[in-house]
Structure 1
Amino acid sequence: MDNGLHSRSTCDAYLLTAVECCEISEAMMPSVTAIPYAILLLVFLFFYFIVYPFVEYIRDPKGLRKFPNMSLCSGMSYIPYMIFAHGGFRSMKLAELHKKYPILLTGPNTLSFGDARAIKDIYGHNTKCTKDSSYLVTAGTHFHLADVIDKPEHARKRKVLSSAYALKNLETWEYKVADKTERLIRHIDQVCTEPLAPGMARPDPKDLTLDYRAWTNLFTLDAIADIGLSERLGFLDTGNDRCIAQNKDGTTYEVNLREALYPTARKQSLILWNYDWYPIVNKLVNIIPFYGRMQKSSDNWDAIVWRRATERLKRYEAGEKLDDFFQALMEDKDGNPNNLEWGEIVAEVNIMMNAGSVTTAIAMTNVLYQLLKNPECLRKLRQEVDAVLEPDEIVAPYDKVKHLPYLRACLDESLRLFPPTSHGLPREVPPEGMYIMNEFIPGGTSVSMSALVAHRDEKVFPQADKYIPERWLGEEGKALQPYFIAFSAGARGCIGRNISYLEQTVLLASVVHRYEFALPHPGWQLKRLETMNLVLGKMPVKVWRRQLEEL
């Protein structure tokens, strides 16, 4: 019996083992069969991303292979350009390459131009180029003036907004800029230190009491909110950029505005360049914390804009007639409703607050930095400004300083040397193709020219790497204007340039008249990070009052 039981148990055990083996084998089947699928996927990816681009590059259906590659694989892939973008200053790299090559192939269907003669062809008033698909894939539910592609639609939008940005409105809005200048000066007065000792070139670190970069940004944010929406953000009063954001469900929360604003363009600048893949890549990369944080910032920015727009709408619906940008969106100059969709209005508020604050703040910081690096230029500027302002004038009246030639030259030379928007604004060649710099470019090709690259063209701007305001004076200065694209050019040029010059002119004249400044040490350099704009790091300075009564 024992033997029988043993035999039976043994048989059962073998049977069980066999069954388990079958189950295990079945469980393993998916992984075994998955191997060919994985191989097929790898083969597909290899052919799609390597073999096919290489074949297309060799086949060269558009004839672009005749142009030098920006890097080894630029004619086959956009990855090299993305790598450049992650490097932090791609336009400077392009400027170096363009010293040798006037036209560069930066991607399978994109060309970068390095000769300033290309400006008229690509961006001029009569150009046949249109904004390319990058503006389409990054747009929200509604286009704003800066990203709309269709030319008739752009003309409609510009007509609606032209009254808001008209030169005559500068006189109306000057008091708002003067108010922000006075508030900034109030803060600077509080952080002034004793004069730098004669012969001293390096201030005591504890005397670096002003981050000029941060405070000019608070200035432009306060100014554009007031000019555009008649809203007082109060950043210059509190010394920070905390504000209320609002989700579309009505919930509100506090957030730092600049932390929400800047990463949005940073993310796009890193991953945008393959337009077909951008919508997918834009979502996939969010699993990486580096990009995920940028997306969160973008969501916060949208909530900040939504709050500003909805609060201003409440005031409009309550019957307030305010002389600002929002009013021009809602009604024409005769008071007739424009009947714009709400999404379009929000989109215009978005670009107004973004472009209307970021680039001007960068410009304000850049020009003072250049003047401190070039003290002889600062001396000449002070001489010009002091001649028209009284010693006790705190805020420079715009009428007194708007036509000062050297002041304007200092601003333009700073904008030339480091344009706030350094990224080459992409344009698409019409289907029939066109000539650019006497080279035929096939239809559908994306072309661009970085403002930084254009402004470093030695044939137009001798000693292009140096800060020389004098180049903008007189007839020689007028001759340079067609090659100055800090605000872009042609019909798509920046509509807000007059407001930017108003803010820059009043603030610079006011601060150089009232204060002396010193950088941390003579060799100190301002840090720059290129996104779509050329974003700046901190600029700590020592500041003290000038003795104007002795002048």
Structure 2
Amino acid sequence: MPIAREIGRRLPFRAAQELFGGNDFLNDYGQVAVDNMKAQQGGKNIFANMMAEAEKGEQLDDLDVKLEATALIVAGTDTTAISLTYLVWAVLSQSSLQKELEQEVAALPDGYRDADLERLPLLQAVIEESLRLYGAAPGMLPRAVPPGGVDLGGYYLPQATTATTQSYSLHRDPNSFPDPDEFIPARWLPSTSKDDKYRISEAAKAVFSPFGAGSRTCAGIHLAYIELRLATAEFFRRMSGVSLAPSATRECMEQENYFLIAPRGHKCEITMKR
């Protein structure tokens, strides 16, 4: 409703301006990112090539760069925070799992690096299982079939058809993930006799797609994994022994999906160890 939004953003009330002017606030943050990039001398980051193209005036202008910066800010903030929120809730819901993870990260050396975290099997398994059940953007990502159409898995899709898939259902297929609604990090661990029935198959790995797949997979996938590893390790090192608050119920954490998921209760409260 663009007319209602245009009227709402002009109302002289802060609440109305925040409600209807969200894009403006985000674009302002994007402009700050672009300005910071311009201020760097010889800096190399994700904006460098975009800025170079904009300066040529061939493909991108300043507005394009600002909008790209805004999109990257949105894509790289709530997504990781959401998955971390659900990871903490899921681990604290299983006391034995919590103790095992706390013991694993407590053994890290002082001044550890991300390479040290990559070698922790339970940490990696907890992150993968969190992304399976609580990937921040589990919905559909539509694509247009190119001119001439395409044969896909024995089905012909005419050109200009909108084709899409989504990870929510794929990640809950019992043929790929036994007991699919249960948080079972052992799926991702090396084979053990107790948990062999949950071990991830090659077919399951093929459909695991919390960051999308193919040529349009998430550009920030590696940064996201680094953030997830570091944040998880630091939380369970510094917050050993915490527990879920009574408010952190399954009902409170039920997924609410508006492209990015969020807990229905909009919170995940924990209780500090006394």
Q: TM-score under structure 2 normalisation?
A: 0.79
User: Relative to 1, partners in 2 of residues 1:471 and 1:344: Cα closer, same or farther, differing over 3 Å?
Assistant: same
CA deviation after TM superposition for structure 1 residue 347, in Å = 1.5
User: Which residue in 2 is equivalent to 1:399?
Assistant: 115
1:539 and 2:268 aligned: yes
Could you list the per-position Cα deviations for residues 60-79 of structure 1 after superposition, in whole angstroms to 9, with x for gaps in the alignment? xxxxxxxxxxxxxxxxxxxx
**1:150-194 Cα deviation digits (max 9, x unpaired):** xxxxxxxxxxxxxxxxxxxxxxxxxxxxxxxxxxxxxxxxxxxxx
- What SS does structure 1 have at the residue aligned with 2:209? coil
Tell me the residue number matched to 1:345: 65
Give ranges in structure 2 of 5+ residues lacking alignment.
Answer: 192-198
Which of 13, 21, 28 pairs up with 1:300? 21
Q: 8 Å contact 1:363–1:414 — kept in the other structure?
A: yes
Partner of 2:246: 521
Give, in angstroms, the shift of residue 408 of structure 1: 1.2
CA distance in 2, matches of 1:406, 1:318: 42
Within the candidate set 486, 489, 492, 2:216 is matched to: 492
Distance 1:531 1:315, change over 3 A: closer
Deviations 1:100-147 (A, max 9, x none): xxxxxxxxxxxxxxxxxxxxxxxxxxxxxxxxxxxxxxxxxxxxxxxx
Q: How does 1:51-66 map to 2 (within 5 A)?
A: none
Which among 108, 115, 119 is matched to residue 388 of structure 1? 108
SS in structure 2 opposite 1:539? coil
For each residue in 1:321-354, what CA deviation from the matched residue of structure 2 results, as whole angstroms up to 9, or x when unmatched? 445433453249xxxx665411211111011100
1:462 equivalent in alignment to 2:186: no
The structure having more radius of gyration, on CA atoms, is: 1
Q: Percent identity?
A: 25
Q: How many angstroms does 1:366 deviate by?
A: 1.0
**Partner Cα distance (1:353, 1:284) in 2:** 27
* Cα distance in 2 for residues equivalent to 1:288 and 1:457: 45
Cα gap change, 1:431 to 1:331, in 2 (>3 Å): closer
Deviation (angstroms), 1:283:
2.5
Query: Is 1:425 the equivalent of 2:141?
Result: yes
Measured in 1, the distance between the counterparts of 2:151 and 2:7 equals 42
The whole-number CA distance in structure 1 between the counterparts of 2:49 and 2:75 is 18
**Matched residue of 1:488: which SS?**
coil
Q: Quick one: which amino acid aligns to residue 519 of structure 1?
A: L
> Kindly tell me: are residues 322 and 543 of structure 1, through their superposed partners in 2, closer, same or farther at Cα, counting changes over 3 Å?
farther
Q: Tell me which amino acid in the other structure corresponds to 1:491.
A: S
Summarize the Cα distance change of 1:285–1:458 in structure 2 as closer, same or farther, 3 Å threshold. farther
Residue of structure 2 in register with 1:365 after alignment: 85
Other-structure match for 1:84: none
Given the superposition, is the C-alpha separation of residues 305 and 384 from structure 1 closer, same or farther in structure 2, using an over 3 Å criterion? Answer: same
Contact 2:29 2:70 (8 Å CA) reproduced: no
> How far 1:301 moved relative to its partner?
3.4
Cα RMSD over matched residues? 3.3
Q: What corresponds to 1:509 in structure 2?
A: 233
Q: Which has a greater percent of helix?
A: 1
Aligned to 1:330: 51
Counterpart check, 1:411 vs 2:127: yes
Paired residue type of 2:46: F
For the residue of structure 2 that corresponds to 1:544, the secondary structure is coil
Amino acid at match of 1:530: N
User: How has the CA–CA distance of structure 1 residues 541 and 438 changed in structure 2, closer, same or farther, with 3 Å as cutoff?
Assistant: same
Aligned length: 255
Q: Distance in 2 between matches of 1:295 and 1:349?
A: 25
C-alpha change, 1:338 and 1:496, in structure 2 (3 Å) is: farther
Q: Any unmatched runs of 5+ in structure 1?
A: 1-281, 546-551
Q: Residues 284, 364 of structure 1: CA spacing in aligned structure 2 closer, same or farther, 3 A cutoff?
A: same
**AA paired with 2:67?**
A
**Amino acid of the structure 2 residue aligned with 1:531:** Y
- Residue deviations 1:417-449, cap 9 Å, x none? 122102111123345444444343444332322
Q: 2:91 is matched by which residue type in structure 1?
A: L
One-letter amino acid of the counterpart of residue 220, structure 2: G
Name the CA distance, whole Å, in 2 between partners of 1:348 and 1:287. 23
Following superposition, the deviation at residue 541 of structure 1 comes to 1.1
Aligned pairs for 1:192-211 within 5 A: none
How far apart, in 2, do the equivalents of 1:467 and 1:309 lie? 36
- Contact 1:286–1:295 under 8 Å retained in 2: no
Higher relative contact order structure (alpha carbons within 8 Å, sequence separation ≥ 6): 1
